[in-house]
Amino acid sequence: MNSYREYFTYRNGTLYCEDVPLEAIAKEYGTPVYVYSSKCFIDKFTQLDDALSKHPHLVCYSVKSNSNLNILRMMQSAGCGMDVVSGGEIYRAIAAGVDPKKIVYAGVGKTSSEIELALATGIRMFNCESLPEIERINAIAQNMNKIASIAIRVNPDVEAHTHHYITTGKKENKFGVSLQLLPDITDVLQKLTHVKLTGLHVHIGSQITEVEPFEEACRRALEVMKALRAKGMDECTTLNLGGGFGIEYNDEDGLDIAKWAASIDNTIKDKDIFLIIEPGRYISGSSGALVTQVQYKKKADIKTFVIVDTGMHHLIRPTLYQAYQHIANVTLREGKEIVDVVGPICESGDFFAKDREISYTEQGDYLAVLSAGAYGMAMASRYNSHPLPAEVLVEGDRYRLIRSRETYEDLIARERV
Ligand code: LLP
């Protein structure tokens, strides 16, 4: 099970994160505020790390899902590596004290300056997505007198059964190299002097809840690896299986990690293969709640709107992916009602829930939008000139501010008049 229910529980009608009442945090730091359970991060990392115990491996937390420096620090102290996708994420990982040899770098659009930064930092490997990218890395590595370790991202053309915006391993997606084009690329690659092929990478999408797509992608990547090794590329020994492990947002089942691990054990018998995984959501998703305050209850012709002090600008998942995010009253009241929970933004797409039955709520109440630890704050914007929320990390019965709320001065600080 990977659900917010493990970390956010009611005690005497009031919602806690671990052993801290959310109301205390909302009162101290104001709303909107993202609140995270540190126990969730560590539990989920440990679960995945243990699941791969039969193989030499490294779990690289996907920084993009929640990139707060304190969270990266906590993860690196737990022994986690990092999956990054930009110069900014390399910068964050290094600032958090991550060993460069535990950093893997993916993304279809790496710029020259990002590649230089990655090489100067001494990251473990690049996950490459095209021949022109590999040629660019080779040229820059040559200038810097370095040899870049690279994996090719394979596009296995596997259906991941998830939202089409977050499917990445199909032919029509921009990611990776198809199995058909791969031989041409490896032929060119063998002639390049400053890149060394040390592995393959495959990431087929996000919020995947079935084992089969992972197994199929893994099997296809493994076949490619065997073929490359047979051609003499015997340094190609790392298999990066990507991220995408699904969690429970509502009543659906998340990915069964024991079943997934068993399928990996069955598929990969060779203990010389070094495995990497890049979980983001699985580690950060259930950890977070976005705590907000009801500003108004507006009874309209055919609906009741609960208008809160945050919205699509701070948590875009409901409107962007039609994603379900559970909404809970921080202090329970008697009764239930069907409402739309909406934000202050001047767009009709600004909603968290439509026609949703939630516990009865009144103006001034605090609500928690759950399972918001992944791709919540990470995708937040200042649209309509709302400052970004504060972030608080809970550990048992203690909590601390890990990002202060932005101010109006912050909003205009970089603008030049
Ligand atoms: N590795 C690569 C190469 C990725 O592109 C991603 C996510 C991950 C790992 C981590 O995936 P995860 O384990 O978190 O599923 N904003 C969307 C999700 C976008 C995922 C992008 N890539 C959402 O809120 O559902």
CATH number for the domain spanning 146: value is 3.20.20.10
User: Do residues 132 and 245 share a domain?
Assistant: yes
User: Do residues 267 and 301 share a domain?
Assistant: no
User: Do residues 115 and 236 share a domain?
Assistant: yes
Alpha-carbon distances of 205 from 9, 157, 326, rounded to whole Å: 30, 11, 22
Q: How far is the CA of 105 from the centre of ligand 1 (A)?
A: 13
Q: Does the pLDDT value for residue 159 go beyond 90?
A: no
Is residue 50 a part of any domain in this protein?
A: no
Is residue 251 a part of any domain in this protein?
A: yes
> What is the model's pLDDT at position 41?
98
- Answer whether 44 contacts ligand 1 (Cβ < 6 A): no
> What is the model's pLDDT at position 96?
98
- CA distance linking residue 253 with residue 152, whole number of Å: 32
Percent of the chain with pLDDT over 70: 100
User: Do residues 229 and 294 share a domain?
Assistant: no
Residue 27 structural domain: 4-37+286-412
Q: Which of 48, 58, 64, 108 to mutate to test the pocket of ligand 1 (most atoms within 8 A of CB)?
A: 64
- Assign 161 a pLDDT band (cuts: 50, 70, 90): confident
User: Do residues 272 and 290 share a domain?
Assistant: no
- Answer whether 18 contacts ligand 1 (Cβ < 6 A): no
3-state secondary structure of 368: strand
**pLDDT tens, 251-288?**
888 999 999 999 999 999 998 999 999 999 999 999 99
Q: How far is the CA of 370 from the centre of ligand 1 (A)?
A: 18
Is residue 377 a part of any domain in this protein?
A: yes
Note the Cα 234 to chain centre separation in Å.
32
> What is the model's pLDDT at position 253?
87
Is residue 267 a part of any domain in this protein?
A: yes
Environment class of 85 (CB within 10 Å of its CB; exposed 0-12, middle 13-18, buried 19+): buried
CATH number for the domain spanning 315: value is 2.40.37.10
User: Do residues 295 and 332 share a domain?
Assistant: yes
Last residue of a domain, one of 239, 260, 279: 279
Q: Which of 75, 80, 278 to mutate to test the pocket of ligand 1 (most atoms within 8 A of CB)?
A: 278
Report the domain count for the chain: 2
Percent of the chain with pLDDT over 90: 90
Q: Which of 47, 61, 62 to mutate to test the pocket of ligand 1 (most atoms within 8 A of CB)?
A: 62
- Average of per-residue pLDDT across 355-369: 97
- CB atoms near residue 181 (< 10 Å): 13
Q: Which residues of 217-237 are buried (b: 16+ CB within 10 A; e: fewer)?
A: bbebbbebbeebeeeebeebb
Is residue 99 a part of any domain in this protein?
A: no
User: Do residues 323 and 202 share a domain?
Assistant: no
**pLDDT tens, 309-332?**
999 999 999 999 999 999 999 999
- Answer whether 238 contacts ligand 1 (Cβ < 6 A): no
User: Do residues 258 and 351 share a domain?
Assistant: no
Last residue of a domain, one of 279, 300, 327: 279
Structure tokens at 408: 């109006």
The residues that bridge with 338 in the sheet, in sequence order, are: 357
Q: How far is the CA of 148 from the centre of ligand 1 (A)?
A: 25
Is residue 254 a part of any domain in this protein?
A: yes
3-state secondary structure 380-409: CCCHHHCCCCEEEEEECCEEEEEECCCCHH
User: Do residues 224 and 185 share a domain?
Assistant: yes
Last residue of a domain, one of 279, 302, 329: 279
Is residue 171 a part of any domain in this protein?
A: yes
- Assign 12 a pLDDT band (cuts: 50, 70, 90): very high
User: Do residues 256 and 291 share a domain?
Assistant: no
User: Do residues 226 and 164 share a domain?
Assistant: yes
346 is catalytic: yes
- CA distance linking residue 411 with residue 386, whole number of Å: 8
- CA distance linking residue 343 with residue 305, whole number of Å: 10
Is residue 356 a part of any domain in this protein?
A: yes
Task: Order the strands of the 8-11 sheet from edge to edge.
Answer: 8-11, 14-17, 20-21
- CA distance linking residue 218 with residue 348, whole number of Å: 41
Q: Does the pLDDT value for residue 169 go beyond 80?
A: no
Q: How far is the CA of 159 from the centre of ligand 1 (A)?
A: 16
Of the candidates 121, 107, 124, 84, the one whose C-alpha atom is nearest the C-alpha of residue 237 is 124
> What is the model's pLDDT at position 119?
98
